């Protein structure tokens, strides 16, 4: 049975970006944990997972830049997204445990590389190091899974995503977590968020290659070394990202890589208790 301090409430933080909305839960005196969601997602989808983490931490899960009700203004490059996270970390006391899924994981790597003193320990879910992901796109197995990245570069991408009541979003969830179906209440809430937010979530992908004048510099930064102790969790049945191997260990000082059997891309939503327990053991 849930105790009162495990309940998640909605609150806001006044940051340079503007009024950032977040789910918050756990004992006020507990160690802060910042959870960063991915695409196409938002914090309420992960409530069961976050409630488990709130048993040991003061959990804060913001709607990222580009996701309503947080500001949907750009830019959406990783340096800017990491600066948003660091501003919130400062509000939480200057150092946190950091957990990120998908794009939230890419932000996690960027924060750990840029400001390692701000992160005690980190966890990434369903996303490899940026350099590993970029190299994997050269292989047909990953490129076939990443077709949507190319689609999102097209001028009509927003229309394609919105048509037929966000049918493409539902298709991505089915393909990425093939053994899981999001319940209708959480699906409807997620759709409402995305309808208010689009095309901003697609701009994350456009910022990978734009502007071309700074593309080389962004690729150089993608090779950044991670000194923060970090746990990488990936689902064996992930239909979005091919799980990495230990070949990229040179990019880390202290990385543990685990592939979780029978789980897909949204592994923390599919098995919230199991993934939260593994995260909690790492953070302990």
Note the pLDDT of residue 213: 67
Note the pLDDT of residue 215: 66
Note the pLDDT of residue 24: 98
Sheet with 31-36: strands ordered across: 9-15, 18-25, 57-62, 31-36, 96-101, 119-125, 230-235, 255-260
In the chain, which stretches have pLDDT less than 50?
1-6
Note the pLDDT of residue 143: 84
Which DSSP category does 152 fall into?
A: T
pLDDT in tens, 239-252: 999 988 888 899 99
Which DSSP category does 41 fall into?
A: -
Domains of the chain: 4-283 (3.40.50.1820)
| Contact (CB, 8 A) for 22 and 11 | yes
pLDDT in tens, 82-93: 999 999 999 999
Note the pLDDT of residue 135: 84
Note the pLDDT of residue 5: 40
């Amino acid at each position: 049975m849930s105790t009162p301090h495990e309940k998640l409430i909605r609150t806001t933080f006044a940051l340079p970006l503007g009024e950032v909305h977040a789910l918050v839960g756990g004992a006020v005196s507990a160690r802060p944990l910042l959870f960063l969601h991915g695409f196409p997602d938002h914090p309420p989808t992960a409530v069961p997972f976050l409630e488990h983490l709130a048993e040991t931490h003061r959990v804060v899960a913001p709607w990222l830049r580009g996701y309503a009700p947080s500001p949907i203004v750009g830019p959406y490059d990783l340096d800017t997204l990491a600066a948003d996270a660091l501003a919130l970390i400062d509000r939480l006391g200057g150092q946190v445990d950091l957990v990120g899924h998908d794009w939230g994981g890419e932000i996690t790597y960027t924060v750990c590389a840029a400001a390692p003193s701000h992160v005690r320990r980190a966890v990434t879910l369903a996303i490899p190091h940026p350099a590993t992901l970029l190299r994997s796109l050269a292989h047909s197995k990953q490129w076939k899974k990443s077709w949507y990245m190319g689609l999102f570069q097209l001028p009509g991408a927003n229309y394609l995503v919105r048509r037929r009541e966000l049918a493409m979003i539902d298709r991505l969830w089915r393909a990425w977590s093939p053994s899981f179906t999001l319940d209708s209440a959480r699906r409807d809430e997620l759709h409402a968020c995305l309808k208010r937010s689009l095309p901003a979530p697609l701009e994350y992908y456009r910022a990978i290659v734009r502007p071309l004048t700074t593309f080389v510099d962004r690729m150089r930064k993608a090779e950044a070394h991670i000194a923060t102790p970090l746990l990488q969790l990936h689902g064996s049945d992930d239909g979005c990202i091919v799980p990495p191997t230990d070949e990229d260990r040179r990019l880390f000082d202290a990385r543990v890589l685990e592939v979780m059997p029978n789980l897909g891309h949204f592994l923390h939503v599919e098995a919230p208790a199991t993934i939260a327990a593994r995260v909690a053991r790492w953070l302990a």
